[in-house]
Structure 1
């Protein structure tokens, strides 16, 4: 478990999927991944929520996972999004991710169905039995309408040795303590909310699955590293540096704002797949201002490192 925890420690970037004229822009994707690797992120998360997994075909998702694995070349752990609200489909997605070479899978709670906790136990049990890959549970009640109870998490971890982690995106730092008390200190916890990364780390989480890292991977890596190295003052300064940018990533539904920010920065296009659409003109202008202020503040970043 110690080695596994070390592999899940740090910043995991929830990668966007760039599109051009309705198809995946692989050239832009490759450049985005390389930028993340150069910044020293610990993990890459293709085909998650930020990657618009809901509107990707199975073949597109598998191709993106395989491409991420090939680009990473072992420099970062590849944790593929592999959730569905149909258990049979989730099992198939996990198997496809394993076939594509993923190191781990991120499996969101079934959305729309709103299963009871017993349903979550059965669902995740079927997924865990279908793969040998490490599984990170993903609790995001704001999108899925159901939260994984700490006791449910403990049951799953006790029954399935490959259920090793959770991405907690319920917006409450208190959940970290509840999960640690239920599951024990060796169970891996990631923050699923960029703005809560620092308080989550202070309570025992060991990493973040990050949206804002698409735009500012170096700062996110430096912040988490600073905290883990005991420099809480520096970690707080870096948290404050990226705070407005973090808020900006959620002025509309993810991944609209982060795609707009990448487009403003000439890193990828803003195109999305329906029913998602690019951010409003007013919010794009607002994001441009945020990025400008961030760039100015980050000019001192090298000194802070």
Structure 2
């Protein structure tokens, strides 16, 4: 579980002008993050546009990143959904030989009860020996996984090792941190709260901005893990404007626009997402220049 302390980066999926996966850009992105200090890589999460990536594409992406990574960093793969049986089927049919953990989002759209959420994750944890990281993001799923449900899962299933918590609610973070089993990981899914959560005892972050501003962001989280609030806050304030800007329209359009300006990949996204506006791109350019 120490593999998942620090900064994990939720990788985008770069596309070319035909909206096909741009593997050259993906290689640049992976190497950029490894060389600048990321602790682990997250494949096919929300930021990777998992909703518009087909299963065969996903297999190719996983195989490619595994090859480029070459064992340098732990890999986490997003496998989640609101059809429990289909999530289990995907886990069973995926090559997880190079994958160190599964990140599984809480069921969306269906709005199950807390008992339904518990049973969903119980079935997933029972279907694999891989470590499972829960993902709570009520702003996208329409359903909040309460701390009591997360703690119940943490206590009853040894391979549920942590939660990526993205409710944007510090009180909810504090409740998890105060009552979790000792080894259970509370990972921030909110870039703007990541330092505060880490200083409070969290395990770090799975970040969006971190894949672009990797060195500064990973150093910020490392300061947090060392309880060096002053040094961490200096970097937090340095990155605050960019962190806010990339989420003003949609994710990952914002961070892709930033990565384009860093010459890592294009700003292309698949519908129903649209690229960042020219106004946002201008603001990002000015913010980068100020840095």
TM bracket, shorter-chain basis: over 0.9
* TM-score between the two structures when normalised by the length of structure 1: 0.91
Mapping of 1:162-241 within 5 angstroms?
162-241=159-238
- Secondary structure, aligned partner of 2:48: coil
Give the match's secondary structure for 2:145: coil
Alpha-carbon separation, structure 2, partners of 1:154 and 1:77: 25
- 1:54 matched to 2:47? The reply is no
C-alpha distance 98-167 of structure 1, shift in aligned 2 (>3 A): farther
CA gap of 1:281–1:227, structure 2 versus 1, over 3 A, is same
Q: Does 1:281 align with 2:278?
A: yes
Shift >4 Å, 4+ stretches: none
SS at match of 2:104: strand
Name 2:26's counterpart in structure 1: 29
Q: Which of 95, 98, 101 is residue 92 of structure 2 equivalent to?
A: 95
Higher mean alpha-carbon deviation, 146-155 vs 23-32, is at 146-155
* Equivalent-residue separation in structure 1 for 2:167 and 2:221 (angstroms): 20
Q: Distance in 2 between matches of 1:87 and 1:104?
A: 18
Q: Which residue of 1 aligns with 2:135?
A: 138
Seen in structure 2, the aligned counterparts of structure 1 residues 125 and 270 have a Cα distance that, compared at 3 Å, is: same
SS in 2 for 1:252: coil
2:245·2:280 contact (CA, 8 Å) conserved in 1? no
Deviation at 1:220, TM superposition (A): 0.9
71, 83, 86: which one aligns with 2:83: 86
Using the size of structure 2 for normalisation, the TM-score is: 0.96
Gaps of 5+ in 2: none
Residue 65 of structure 1, CA deviation: 1.8
Deviates more, 1:248-257 or 1:66-75: 66-75
Provide the aligned C-alpha RMSD in A.
1.4
Maintained 8 Å contact 2:199/2:229? no
